[in-house]
Amino acid sequence: MGINVLIIGSGGREHAIAWKLSQSPKLKKLWVLPGNAGIEDYAETVDIKETDINAICKFVENNTIDLTIVGPEIPLAAGITDTLNHQGFRVVGPTKAAAQLETSKSFAKKIMHENNIPTAHSETFTDAFLAKEYIHKLESLVVIKADGLAAGKGVTVCDNSKEAEAAIEKILIKKAYGDAGTKILVEERMFGRETSAHAFTDGISVKHMPFSCDHKPVYDNNLGPNTGGMGVYSPPLWLSDEIRKDIEQNITERIIKSMAQNKTPYTGILYPGLMITKTGPRVVEFNARFGDPETEVLLPKLETDLLEIFDAIGDKRLSEIEVEWNNNASVGVILASGGYPDSYEIGKRIHGLDNIDSNVQIFMSGVKSDENNSLYTAGGRVLCLVASGSSIDEARELAYSNVNRISFEGMHYRTDIGSAS
């Protein structure tokens, strides 16, 4: 029979999901909308915007789609899961109400506080004067966060009150993130090392993925403004088994149980971003889908058929699936357009992809092709190059030896991904 699958999204995350699903013997046909030039190797791309819910629903109906996988957060925030479920279609992704774990930081804080899930203390403001007044009363450093979705860029980690005031003005007065910044959180700044804890869930059972570490700031040594992610490695060897178990049981599994009790049951992929502090792991934020670029590093480690996992989530029988991972270390390096994460130029010809080693994966994000199948930049983060090895050092060496074979005008990347693993 086979399963017809639709992936919604256009980034490296969706490219990695398409690459993995294409290996499944259960797959009948795979579509991705809107997709990108790299995804065309594994699936038929469809020229529909990921926010056009009516057009997506018609496509699902007309093409007898058995399962829809929602990659990015914006369609989830718009209620794509609710609409498709209402029409009788299966979706891997949370409802609009459940996705508030990511789309509303104040909602997430409320759930965490009510269920004793460790996180930083915060206060919510809509008034810039009151927010500034509050930071001057605090003795601790702060982090300023836009309440809504800002593509990973709505967070400012402040070293002093002057930076905090500037961040408050940027969000609440200058409206840098539009409606995502009608509210802000002023949060106590946490110190420690960060990690991500991805998991599959059908709302009842939870299957944990390997831990990974994303590098958000644009420059080496974690300098410069935050981005959507400049690279990632897995596993973090510095993370003890005791802390891993604590995170899995007392954060990820507890939040899934809490969401069900809250009558906003959560299904799909969930991952808390965590700070491992002196007092233990604390949640920085929740994300209601696969991370990008974490997906590109995690899926090469997955031994179980990804379509079987998604199919089981759709039928609420995830407990029946044994999810297995290989022991390889993986490192992914993002190659970005000049100027990213600020304004950047696109349309730059990409060279060198034919010279990449066969055991290295290229997952494309901002890439388009012309009539001659030449590839050009079409976004801030252009592609993610992923290498695996028996150790992080071995994977890093392989990754960077291949990065050096790729070029496009203005290309920049971090040279220290995984170096402090």
Closest CA to 173 of 127, 132, 133: 127
Question: What is the per-residue pLDDT for 334?
Answer: 98
Tally of CB atoms within 10 A around 104: 17
Taking the C-alpha atoms of 246, 249, 253 and 259 in order, what is their torsion angle to the nearest 10 degrees? -80
**pLDDT-based confidence at 144, cuts 50/70/90?**
confident
- Domains of the chain, each with CATH number or no CATH: 3-96 (3.40.50.20), 121-188 (3.30.1490.20), 192-320 (3.30.470.20), 329-403 (3.90.600.10)
- Per the CB < 8 A criterion, the answer to whether 56 and 33 are in contact is yes
Give kind and range of the element (H or E) at residue 382.
Answer: strand 381-389
Is the pLDDT at 3 greater than 80? The verdict is yes
Question: What is the per-residue pLDDT for 421?
Answer: 59
**pLDDT-based confidence at 152, cuts 50/70/90?**
low
CA 152 – CA 74 distance, rounded (Å):
12
CA 400 – CA 374 distance, rounded (Å):
23
Is the pLDDT at 283 greater than 70? The verdict is yes
Mean pLDDT of 177-190: 85
- Percentage of the chain lying above the pLDDT 70 cut: 99
CA 33 – CA 266 distance, rounded (Å):
24
**pLDDT-based confidence at 127, cuts 50/70/90?**
confident
Is the pLDDT at 420 greater than 90? The verdict is no
Question: What rounded mean pLDDT belongs to the chain?
Answer: 94
Is the pLDDT at 315 greater than 90? The verdict is yes
Mean pLDDT of 217-239: 94
**pLDDT-based confidence at 27, cuts 50/70/90?**
very high
Mean pLDDT of 397-409: 98
Q: What's the pTM value of the predicted model, to 2 decimals?
A: 0.92
CA dihedral sign of residues 146, 149, 150, 153: positive
Question: What is the per-residue pLDDT for 360?
Answer: 97
Question: What is the per-residue pLDDT for 230?
Answer: 97
- 288 vs 94, 273, 301, 344, 353, CA distance in Å? 7, 11, 21, 28, 32
